Chains A and B, each alone.
Chain A
Amino acid sequence: KQEVTQIPAALSVPEGENLVLNCSFTDSAIYNLQWFRQDPGKGLTSLLLIQSSQREQTSGRLNASLDKSSGRSTLYIAASQPGDSATYLCAPYNNNDMRFGAGTRLTVKP
């Protein structure tokens, strides 16, 4: 069974800072990995989906990397803004199953 760990559990940074969120998973035989954002009282919003054959994906200020062999993915957020405050979850997919990490709660202070 896939185990997904996200570090740190919470992060508070001043506006403008670049930051990295980490995701590790125990079964490296994945087909893809998604990063999601969840705002309080809301559902998840898919940010980036990286296929197993890819090393990274970029969308605006977000860059997600994938090192499948080591079971790791990172989400890099450049020039953070208060609007980036949310919980970020990673979810690797394998064996017809997608498992979610517990998330990193990010607070960006103005």
Chain B
Amino acid sequence: DAGVIQSPRHEVTEMGQEVTLRCKPISGHNSLFWYRQTMMRGLELLIYFNNNVPIDDSGMPEDRFSAKMPNASFSTLKIQPSEPRDSAVYFCASSREVGYNQPQHFGDGTRLSIL
């Protein structure tokens, strides 16, 4: 079991640039979650998918953020245009069943710095 794989591990870019974060969930898992972690706000849910369908995106901060899951093995989180306040660690997690009734497995995160 390879675990949840996120790329890149680190991203440094200038404000205004488009940023794309990628996630490969564990094979066979039906739910996928995107989180953001900062010192000030802690860990926040941005969006989650059940069976590739977005269920709750109320945590997405602004229209600059978008997420897609074109198939069961891949998801992206895009920020366009990026701003310095988007700097954070972004985590992707997956779980076997829909919703929150099963343990979530986290990737190691993408540390994003917007200059």
Contact = CB atoms under 8 A, between A and B. Distances in A.
Given A31-B100, A43-B106, A46-B105, A97 B91 contact: no
Given A97-B45, A100-B43, A102-B42, A34 B93 contact: no
Q: How large, as a class, is the contact surface on chain A?
A: 10 to 19
A19 interface: no
Contact of B101 (A32, A41, A43): A32
A69 interface: no
Contacts of B25: none
A28 B102 CA distance: 19
Contacts of B104: 34, 44, 46
A101 B42 CA distance: 8
A102 B100 CA distance: 19
Interface string B49-62: 00000011000000
Interface of B: 4, 42-45, 55-56, 91, 93, 99-109
Interface of A: 31-32, 34, 41-46, 49, 89, 93, 96-98, 100-103
**8 closest A-B pairs (Cβ-Cβ)?**
A43-B106, A46-B103, A100-B43, A93-B100, A44-B106, A102-B42, A43-B108, A98-B100
